[in-house]
Amino acid sequence: MPKVKMPTSTPSLDMTPMVDLAFLLVTFFMLTSSFRAPEPIVIDPPTSTTENLIPKQVFLIMIDKDGRTFVDITNAAVKAKVLKQVLNQFKVQPLSEEDVTTFLGIGPFGLRAGEIQNFLELETGERTAYEQKGVPYDTADNKAKTSELYYWAYHTRIEAHNDFKAREEEAKLRKMDFDKTNYIQFAVKAHPEAKYQAIQDIIQVFRDAKVKEFQMITGLESE
């Protein structure tokens, strides 16, 4: 009895589902990714041999060569609460929820409390070109405790502690592991040409705000 010869054909694979999946993944990452906010100043700090990494959460004061100070608070929840406290301290009208959200995304800032509202009303390109003169930190004649930088540091210390305790309590209720090292730390990043007096003034602000420990951010020195 003759054998039945089956017709032969080249196997094919339908790529349509894979292409659809690839486009879905690209769309997902485009919508969920957040770009790093442009920094108002670029500081290349002095180098050292330490290999310690910048903390996960940080209250960072950046000092340029002209002595201007810029503040960055990487914990958004703490940053929003401290913003409210500082505006209230200097009797500045509270921001809308939309403006607060915008402020949380601008990264380091060197603005007086009274400038923040007008700054947020600018377009993105205009904000980049805006000349920020730094957060005031006059320490002459015992004025450190009335400077705006003092209140940013002081309220951050308090709100960071409250945030830490709230997250710790929530972890206990949910019976989850809690990372006790994930706590806002204070740090200073200074331009190599920054005057010593400016750095000394910042240290005095930390002392007045009862910030007992802080770190100096440096670049890694090659062997």
**Start-to-end Cα distance in the chain:** 83
Q: Looking up tokens 């915008």, which residue turns up?
A: 102
For 9-73, the DSSP string reads -------HHHHHHHHHHHHHHHHH--PPPPPSS---PPEES--PPPPSSEEEEEE-TT--EEEEE
What backbone phi and psi angles, to 5 degrees, belong to 59?
A: -105, 105
Q: Rounded to the nearest 10 degrees, what angle do helices 76-89 and 148-173 cross at?
A: 140
Residues 22-41 pLDDT 10s:
878 888 777 665 555 566 66
Q: What is the pLDDT of residue 20?
A: 78
Q: Looking up tokens 């770190």, which residue turns up?
A: 215
Q: What is the mean pLDDT of each run of 10 residues along the chain (223 residues)?
A: 61 73 77 61 60 76 92 94 94 93 92 94 89 84 73 95 91 86 88 89 92 80 58
Q: What is the pLDDT of residue 87?
A: 95
Is the pTM higher than 0.85? The answer reads no
Q: What is the pLDDT of residue 44?
A: 60
C-alpha 60: how far from its chain's center?
Answer: 8
Q: What is the pLDDT of residue 76?
A: 93
- What H or E segment, with its residue span, contains residue 220? strand 219-220
Q: What is the pLDDT of residue 113?
A: 94
Q: What is the pLDDT of residue 69?
A: 94
